[in-house]
């Protein structure tokens, strides 16, 4: 009887150790994921240059801003991170916001590619009427880009604040308190 009890107790202790190690590893991995996401958001927030082209007769600036972007690592981390570990409520939407940021960055980059092609068309145009039409198109396109960039940058800043808050919440002490009560 005592041997069976010792086996059961040993099994229970071993299981508890495995569960505790898994609990600590999941929290440590979550902090690593949050740091990766934070660094990507910080980098994306630096690409905030606008066109601000005016409607004067001057040719468009040769410098085209770079759209904010995130890496494939960002997208993979966002899809695998366990945000539930630091969610303030059951319906937190940080993952959805981060995926929206990724999609928005991609859309801005694709639009910039169209602007670059139009700039090349402007430079190749020889007919003054055609150049004026392309210049007008460029001003409209750049104004649209500038208009869409601001909300994306606001979303990036908001997500960055949320990730910073989650990093504070993801400490082992706070996670233990959350587990207990």
- Per residue in 46-64, pLDDT (tens digit) is 999 888 876 665 556 667 8
CA distance 127 to 131: 6
In Å, the largest CA–CA distance within the chain is: 100
Instruction: Tell me how many domains the chain contains.
Output: 1
Residues 38-58 as b/e (b if ≥16 CB within 10 A, e otherwise) read bebbeebeebeeebebeeeee
Q: Is the pTM of this model over 0.95?
A: no
The domain containing residue 170 runs over which residues?
A: 2-180
User: Which of 45-59, 136-150, 159-173 is the least confident region?
Assistant: 45-59
Does pLDDT of 22 surpass 90? no
Per cent of the chain over pLDDT 70 is 92
Averaged pLDDT of the chain: 87
- Per residue in 149-161, pLDDT (tens digit) is 999 999 999 999 9
């Amino acid at each position: 009887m005592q041997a069976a009890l010792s086996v059961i107790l040993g099994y229970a202790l071993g299981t508890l150790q495995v569960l505790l190690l898994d609990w600590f590893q999941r929290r440590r991995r979550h902090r690593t994921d949050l740091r990766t996401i934070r660094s990507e958001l910080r980098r994306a927030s630096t690409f905030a240059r606008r066109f601000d082209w005016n409607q004067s007769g001057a040719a468009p600036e040769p410098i085209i801003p770079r759209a904010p972007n995130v890496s494939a690592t960002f997208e993979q981390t966002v899809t695998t991170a366990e945000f539930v570990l630091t969610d303030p409520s059951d319906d937190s939407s940080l993952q959805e916001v981060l995926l929206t940021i990724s999609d928005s960055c991609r859309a801005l980059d694709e639009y910039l590619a169209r602007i670059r092609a139009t700039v090349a068309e402007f430079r190749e145009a020889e007919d003054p009427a055609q150049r004026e039409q392309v210049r007008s198109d460029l001003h409209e396109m750049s104004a649209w880009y500038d208009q869409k960039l601001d909300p994306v940058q606001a979303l990036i800043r908001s997500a960055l604040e949320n990730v910073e808050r989650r990093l504070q919440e993801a400490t082992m002490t706070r996670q233990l308190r959350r587990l207990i009560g």
